Structures are given as structure tokens and as C-alpha cells.
């Protein structure tokens, strides 16, 4: 065959998200793009804020020497300083530029962190439903993913997490707001998780808390995201500007390591080294210079909230069981039939594209991404209602 057996297996287990997206592309060629109601991919249709685009034009037009040269592998010092100031203001902790590593999006950041932490056979706890790429990121670096189910409403099940921890557990990945459910983990449940990790720490085992915060600024109904840096000492966050600034194609993000981590420097040195040897070298120069100034900004979250409300009401009207998202731009209804893949195929007959829950480690559900035009959401109503009526019979 020529390719590695590990990659061959991973390709077979690969993302349902991309598979359904590609199937949708074929349908669009047959029926026309306007006739396909595509909820598959978290690829925002909103544009970046105007003042960000203006700053980008200014940067591109600048005749400042060295604008596009190499920099230290952790990123430009002035950009990391700006980001550290934002975190210092937000958390009250003593963040400096030395706690920040600029990365090629949150995917690049997560790989850098895992490369730096994992030995062959190290275990990483992942909460289900989960973003399927986590599995591949962990396996990239010799780790083993240990999947833990969440509760019926997709919140943390501390007892199940505790039973999954072994002497080989090195980290737990927590994604909040969550993809695919839109659930935001609350202060109390995160404090319970912190207490559990502290118990292991007292026995000499250090477990890192890896927070994927790609959607941290997309929150609804006045909800606030708990400060994980204040909850647990050994915390590392990975952030992307793909969603909050609508820059998914630019692949820009960063790692922030808590100033409370004991003996932090070797870890920072490891992540800077990993950033280089994984082939990223450093995050894109132009995008680094751009995003530093926009840490307190985001796209109009109210637009996403309106779309959430419309879609949630449609699904409820159709008789589907669904947890209302409090963040991100995904919703994860329960499939009205046991076979979620079969139900997604039924949706396709109505030219609605969705992703089956099996692709997120939770069969019996399906995911809809609502970072799409409002008219697509509104046009889906009649089809969801028809399906609901058929199933209720």
C-alpha cells in the first residue's frame, strides 16, 4: 500500500464532518448550492469586524522593514505582551509574554501542548460528545484517548471521570463552550473536577487541565465563562481566532499557560521547541501582528444568538429532544430514531445536511452548525416539521 498502517486506520475513522461536507458539495453540483440546506461545517459566513479589516490593510501596506521575516518560535514579543495584558486584566494573575506561545490555530496549539506533555502510552481523558480530531491529535504523539461520557444534558460526570483516571493519565481536555453540543460547563462542576485532580496531585500525580477555548467569546443570554486559570493551577488554554474574529482560514491562535504552574519554564521551552519541530516553526507573521490588538473584540454574538433561537424553536416544534446551547454555534438534538446515520440520510432526502452523532462519539444524536445564513435555517423548518410528523405516526 505504501502508507502507514496507523494513518490508514485513522483515515477510516476520520471525521464524519468532512465526509458529510464533501457529500454536500456533490449534492450542490447536482441541485444547485441554493437548494441545499447545509448545516455540516463550522465555517462562519460572517465577515471579520470592519476595524480588523482596516488594520489588516494598514499592515499589508506598511513599508516597515522586517514585516515578513522569521521571529522567535514563540511569536512576536509585542504581540505576546498584548495578549498577556489581556489575560492579566481578565484573570488577575501575573501573565507575561513568557506565558504565551503563538500557534497555527487551536489545532496547532493543541498538538504543540500534547507533543510537549505526552510519553508513549500516556492517557488523555476526553469528554464525549467530543471534537473527533482530539483523538488523532493525541495519537499523533503516542498518547491514548480515554473517552468519558457526560450526563444526559452533556455536563461533567465527575464519578465517571474519577473511575477513568489511572496512573498513566497525563491530561484532561475540556472544550467549553462545547463542540458539538453548545454546552458551557459551570463554575461548580469545574470546581468539582479541580478537587478531583487535586486529590491525585496530593498522591504525587500531576494531571494537566487542557482547555480548548476556541469558542470562549461566543456566549448567549448573558452567561459568563468560568475562569479556568483561577480554578486549577496546572491549566493550559488553547485559543483560536477562527470563530471570535471570523478568521478560520488564517489559522491563528495561541497557547496560554497559567502563571500558577510550578516549574513552568521547562514546559514553556518544550512547547516553543515543539512548535518548531512539528513544522509550524511559528505562527503566520501578518496574522500575529493583526490579532494582538483585538483580544477584547469579537464578531456580533447577538446574530448567532438569534440563529440559535430560531433553530432551537424549529427543532422543538418538530418534536425533537434537544438541549439549548449556551455558547458556540452548534446544536446537538437527539435523533428520533436509534440509528443516527439513517436519520441523517433521511434529512438528505430533504436536502438538509447534518452530521451524525457517531462522529462525535455519541450515537443517537446529530449535529447542526448554525453559523450559516438565517434564510437557510428558516427554510429548513418545513422539512423538520414534515419529518417530525412522519416519525410521530
Tens digits of residue pLDDT in 228-264: 999 999 999 999 999 999 999 999 999 999 999 999 9
User: Widest CA span of the chain, in angstroms?
Assistant: 70
Give the pLDDT of residue 31. Answer: 74
Give the pLDDT of residue 66. Answer: 87
Distances (CA, A) of 85 to 79, 81, 288, 295: 10, 6, 15, 10
Tell me which H or E stretch contains 255.
Answer: strand 253-257
Residue 49 pLDDT exceeds 80? yes
Buried b / exposed e across 243-266, counting CB within 10 Å, b at 16+?
Answer: bbbbbbebbbbbbbbbbebeeeee
Give the pLDDT of residue 42. Answer: 87
CATH 3.40.640.10 positions along the chain are 66-294
What percentage of residues in the chain have a pLDDT greater than 70?
96
CATH class of 5-48+299-392: alpha beta
| CATH annotation of 66-294 | 3.40.640.10
Give the pLDDT of residue 12. Answer: 67
Q: pTM, whole model, 2 decimals? A: 0.94
Average the pLDDT over 293-302 and give the result. Answer: 96
CATH 3.90.1150.10 positions along the chain are 5-48+299-392
Which residues, in sequence order, are bridge partners of residue 368? 331
Rounded distance, CA 20 to CA 210, Å? 29
Give the pLDDT of residue 155. Answer: 98
Give the pLDDT of residue 320. Answer: 96
Integer-rounded Cα Rg, in Å, for the chain is 21
In this structure, are strands 169-175 and 355-356 parallel, antiparallel, or unpaired?
unpaired
Give 91: exposed, middle or buried? Use CB within 10 Å, 0-12, 13-18, 19+: middle
Give the pLDDT of residue 16. Answer: 72
Give the pLDDT of residue 33. Answer: 73
Rounded distance, CA 327 to CA 116, Å? 30
Amino acid at each position: 500500500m505504501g502508507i502507514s498502517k496507523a494513518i490508514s486506520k485513522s483515515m477510516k475513522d476520520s471525521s464524519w464532518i468532512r465526509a458529510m461536507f464533501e457529500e454536500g458539495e456533490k449534492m450542490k453540483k447536482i441541485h444547485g448550492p441554493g437548494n441545499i440546506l447545509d448545516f455540516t461545517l463550522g465555517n462562519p459566513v460572517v465577515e471579520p469586524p470592519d476595524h480588523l479589516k482596516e488594520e489588516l490593510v494598514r499592515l499589508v501596506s506598511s513599508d516597515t522593514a522586517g514585516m515578513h521575516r522569521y521571529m522567535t518560535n514563540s511569536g512576536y514579543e509585542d504581540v505576546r505582551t498584548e495578549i498577556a495584558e489581556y489575560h492579566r486584566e481578565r484573570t488577575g494573575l501575573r501573565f507575561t509574554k513568557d506565558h504565551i506561545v503563538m500557534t497555527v490555530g487551536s489545532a496547532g496549539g493543541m498538538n504543540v501542548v500534547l507533543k510537549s506533555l505526552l510519553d508513549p502510552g500516556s492517557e488523555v481523558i476526553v469528554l464525549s460528545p467530543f471534537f473527533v480530531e482530539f483523538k488523532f491529535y493525541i495519537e499523533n504523539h503516542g498518547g491514548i484517548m480515554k473517552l468519558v461520557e457526560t450526563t444526559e444534558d452533556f455536563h461533567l460526570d465527575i464519578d465517571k471521570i474519577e473511575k477513568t483516571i489511572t496512573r498513566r493519565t497525563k491530561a484532561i481536555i475540556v472544550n467549553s463552550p462545547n463542540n458539538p453540543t453548545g454546552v458551557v460547563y459551570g463554575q461548580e462542576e469545574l470546581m468539582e473536577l479541580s478537587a478531583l485532580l487535586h486529590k491525585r496531585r496530593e498522591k504525587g500525580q500531576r494531571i494537566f487541565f487542557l482547555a480548548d477555548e476556541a469558542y470562549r467569546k461566543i456566549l448567549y443570554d448573558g452567561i459568563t465563562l468560568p475562569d479556568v486559570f483561577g480554578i486549577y493551577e496546572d491549566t493550559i488554554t488553547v485559543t483560536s481566532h477562527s470563530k471570535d474574529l471570523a478568521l478560520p482560514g488564517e489559522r491563528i491562535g495561541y497557547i496560554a499557560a497559567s502563571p500558577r504552574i510550578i516549574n513552568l519554564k521547562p514546559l514553556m521551552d518544550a512547547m516553543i521547541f515543539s512548535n518548531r519541530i512539528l513544522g509550524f516553526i511559528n505562527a503566520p507573521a501578518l496574522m500575529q501582528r493583526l490579532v494582538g490588538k483585538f483580544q477584547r473584540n469579537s464578531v456580533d454574538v447577538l446574530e448567532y444568538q438569534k440563529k440559535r433561537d430560531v433553530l432551537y424553536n424549529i427543532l422543538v416544534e418538530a418534536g425533537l429532544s434537544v438541549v439549548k446551547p449556551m455558547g458556540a454555534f452548534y446544536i446537538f438534538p437527539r435523533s428520533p430514531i436509534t440509528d443516527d446515520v439513517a436519520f441523517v440520510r433521511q434529512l438528505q432526502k430533504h436536502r438538509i445536511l447534518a452530521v451524525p452523532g457517531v462522529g462525535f462519539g455519541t450515537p443517537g444524536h446529530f449535529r447542526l452548525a448554525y453559523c450559516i445564513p438565517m434564510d437557510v435555517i428558516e427554510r429548513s423548518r418545513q422539512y423538520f416539521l414534515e419529518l417530525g410528523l412522519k416519525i410521530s405516526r
